Amino acid sequence: MIGADILLKSLLKEGVEIIFGYPGGVAIPLYDKLKDYPQIKHILTRHEQGAALAADGYFRVTGKTGVCLATSGPGATNLITGIANAYMDSIGMVAITCQVPSALIGSDAFQEVDITGITKPITKHNYFIDNINDLSRIVNEAFYLASSGRPRPVHIDIPVDILKTEVKKFSYPSKASLSSYGTLQKISSEEIDKACGLIKKSARPIIIAGHGVMLSRAEAELKKFIEKVDIPVITTLLGIGALSEKHPMSFGMLGMHGMAYANYAAHNADLIIGIGTRFSDRITGNINEFAKNANVIHIDIDPSEIGKNILANVPLLGGCKEILKELNKKIVQLSHRNWVERIEEWKFQTGLQKIKQQSRPYNNKYLMAQNIIREIDLQTKGEAVIVSDVGQNQMWSAQYFKYTKPNQFLSAGGLGPMGYSLPASIGAKFGSPKSNIWAIMGDGGFQMNMQELGVIMEHKLPIKIIILNNGYLGMVRQWQELFFNKNYAATKLANPDFIQIAKAYGIEAYQITELCDAKSKIKKAVNSDKPIFLDFIIGAEDIVLPMVPAGKSLGDVIVDLPRN
């Protein structure tokens, strides 16, 4: 038995069934042993970034720690974007890299890089293994850290000589023992009472539900809470699905491209209850103008988030599920009907169907992306899992599909890497094979990681791939039009024939320019058990509305933008 056996046996102990990876020179001893562990399925992505982003998508749909694997040097550095994205979005991941021999560390050996130094600021913790006797313990600790508290990526770097070191026996810890990794203190009943007091006296409360609601599986507790206190719910981008958007107390996403009425609600509230959100700049707008007249109750499991961006009158430190349970025990039945009706009036005045046409400057022959997303929603009966990329397609996907379930909308929120959608949809499909996965992306984002079509081809994954093709880097173009005097520098794309590319991978593919054809091709995709690639030609001038310009308050949201 060698170190590679110890690693793989340890992964089995952690229940690992899938690794997304890419081999290389110093990783060969590990890959050589994979055949002896058929319980672990290795998915060969076509780029290491694809491996990390696939592990990300896997975690989002399963709640199980995703695992990615790469060789040293460029293999390891290619994981960085995916690891950073996982760190920003609180994704449980263990990233394993193989390293040059211990004796060559620091010598600038071929494909040597200080990957532990590079990953330190974008991981919850990282490890360099210099003793074979530490390997199983470290794997145990890594998975515990990645999945407990606030989930985040953990990195393990293993020199090739450790992988090849012979050992006599394998033992695995029964549980992780980390003296410096503290557990949360008991939830303060005094702070719970303070929160209940603020809620009782509030006339215009609003709940902002973030990703933490779903990470803690607190959807049922949230629903019980809002129905008891009669408080409207708005969500962050990653909080979409925390409450069904068909629930009468759901008022959509807030922020830069959130619903205007959600922004008005937050701007005019006298109490903000933030649940599992970090109050990022994309949801607050000008932070000095954010909910200036509101008290703030902030529920979060990570103490570093409370007070970081928005000061909290009542900080509630702990898991969202546990704290909501305590609130539900103590809070009395309340009514905020006047406030709810006011938000409903704003919704009537500024709903998406009212403002959609404002996103198009003049009538043109091209499809509207908004109509494509709505058609997917209608034809899938709202049952699809949408994996968006980054940019305009991301915002349209968030706005025009009605999400009714947690983790039904997968997207890169904090880091925002283009190219996320395709590999993340692959990870999601492996994690939840029965889910109806739709990967939605722009023509720019597709070309960032389009090589991952090879994985879809190899494994015959019935993922529906949607390109919203406007021939531009759409969101950058939008900003250039609105704020940089229409100087479209470096945003127009000279695209290849996407249909031929998809067909080269053995994927059925169509380009669509007419709405009637769009409906029939979406229906074809819905009814197919094979991958299908649909390239929709949309208008280059179409922009995403509503929009809060950078530096403005949520009250300054734009819903009507006349253009020449």
| Digit-coded pLDDT (tens) for 292-320 | 999 999 999 999 999 999 999 999 999 99
Q: Does domain 365-540 bear CATH number 3.40.50.740?
A: no
CA distance 61 to 19: 15
pLDDT, one tens digit per residue, over 120-166 is 999 999 999 999 999 999 999 999 999 999 999 999 999 999 999 99
Q: Averaged over 338-364, what is the pLDDT?
A: 91
Place of tokens 């253009």: 563
Average pLDDT, the chain: 96
N-to-C CA span, the chain: 72
pTM of the model: 0.97
pLDDT, tens only, 444-464: 999 999 999 999 999 999 999
In three-state secondary structure terms, 155 is strand
Instruction: Check whether 366 has a pLDDT greater than 60.
Output: yes
Q: Does domain 3-164 have CATH number 3.40.50.970?
A: yes
Q: What is the DSSP string of 163-204?
A: HH-B-S-----SS---TTSPPPPPPPHHHHHHHHHHHHH-SS
Q: What residue ranges do the domains of the chain occupy?
A: 3-164, 189-350, 365-540
Task: Find where tokens 């109509």 sit.
Answer: 371
> Is residue 564 scored above 60 in pLDDT?
no
Please determine whether the domains at 3-164 and 365-540 fall in the same fold group of CATH: yes
Return the DSSP state at 332.
P
pLDDT tens-digit profile of 53-76? 999 999 999 999 999 999 999 999
pLDDT-based confidence at residue 360 (cuts at 50, 70, 90): confident
Secondary structure (DSSP) of 387-438: EE-SSHHHHHHHHHS---STT-EE---SS--TT-HHHHHHHHHHH-TTS-EE
Instruction: With beta carbons less than 8 A apart as the criterion, state whether 80 and 56 touch.
Output: no
Tokens, residue 291: 């909910």
Beta carbons of 508 and 530 less than 8 angstroms apart: yes
Query: pLDDT for 231-278, tens place per residue?
Result: 999 999 999 999 999 999 999 999 999 999 999 999 999 999 999 999
Give me the mean pLDDT over the 190-205 stretch. Answer: 97
For domain 189-350, which CATH number applies: 3.30.1490.20, 3.40.50.1220, 3.40.50.1970, 3.20.20.140? 3.40.50.1220
**Residue 485 CA: distances (Å) to CA of 322, 377, 401, 558:** 51, 36, 32, 18
Omega before 303 cis (within 30°)? Answer: no
Helix orientation angle between 135-147 and 3-13, rounded to the nearest 10 degrees: 30
